[in-house]
Structure 1
């Protein structure tokens, strides 16, 4: 009878440690497009990238009105990218403008670069774009 009691205790302990090992981490960002690229990496549309404690995923190019590199323009233009932002237990989507910090949940996320640069007479295909993000608190 004593052996049965010890076996039952061992089984309960094993089950308890298995359940604990599978628990989710509440402070981890939500990411659903696979593992996020390292901070500072230029990523294509749909690819998540770490930016501080956040994960940024460029979803769509809303506007790219930058002046082509081989032209003279009165206005430099801008790039606006619809970006999914994942934090510890939350997710939101926002339009980020190149070079302008976006404040959310106590952090600031900035779209720091967009490439390639436009050229007169050429159209950039969406799959050719690469984006870099940075974050600060």
Structure 2
């Protein structure tokens, strides 16, 4: 007695478990704006800011000798390539044949108040 398993049924039992492992990165926005953990598109790149590394900007309700910095850690994807980089507000970074820049970070700091990570709204741009 010969048992025959249709080839299509066998293939499906092997492929279905693997198909559940395939992930795609959803782009929440297409305008360069993102919150922490939210991906956005900046030119050909997908940028997902993951954390605030430093926010030493001068509070908007204070006088400062130094303007301070905003540095954001972000995962940057271009095609199949992905890398993590620190992006400093106003400083372009060479990547994928162009320049990626963190253009703005809101809200501005206020003296005596701590900004929660969920409150940050960031904007990224890409130029060739």
Aligned to 2:30: 38
Is 1:76 paired with 2:67?
A: yes
The alignment's TM-score, normalised by the length of structure 1, stands at 0.73
Alpha-carbon displacement from aligned partner over 1:13-45 (angstroms, at most 9, x marks no partner): xxxxxxxxxxxxxxxxx963x2241124x3110
Q: Specify which structure has the higher proportion of helix.
A: 1
CA contact (8 A) 2:27 2:46 kept: no
How has the CA–CA distance of structure 1 residues 89 and 133 changed in structure 2, closer, same or farther, with 3 Å as cutoff? same
The CA distance in 2 between the partners of 1:123 and 1:105, in whole Å, is 35
The alignment's TM-score, normalised by the length of structure 2, stands at 0.78
**Number of equivalences:** 106
The CA distance in 2 between the partners of 1:105 and 1:38, in whole Å, is 18
The CA distance in 2 between the partners of 1:31 and 1:87, in whole Å, is 13
Aligned to 1:86: 77
Equivalent residue runs for 1:1-137 within 5 Å: 32=25, 34-40=26-32, 42-137=33-128
Unaligned runs of 5+ in 2: 1-22
How has the CA–CA distance of structure 1 residues 54 and 31 changed in structure 2, closer, same or farther, with 3 Å as cutoff? farther
The CA distance in 1 between the partners of 2:99 and 2:24, in whole Å, is 19
Structure label with greater radius of gyration: 1
Give the ranges of 4+ consecutive aligned residues of structure 1 lying more than 3 Å apart after TM superposition.
none
Q: Specify which structure has the higher proportion of strand.
A: 2
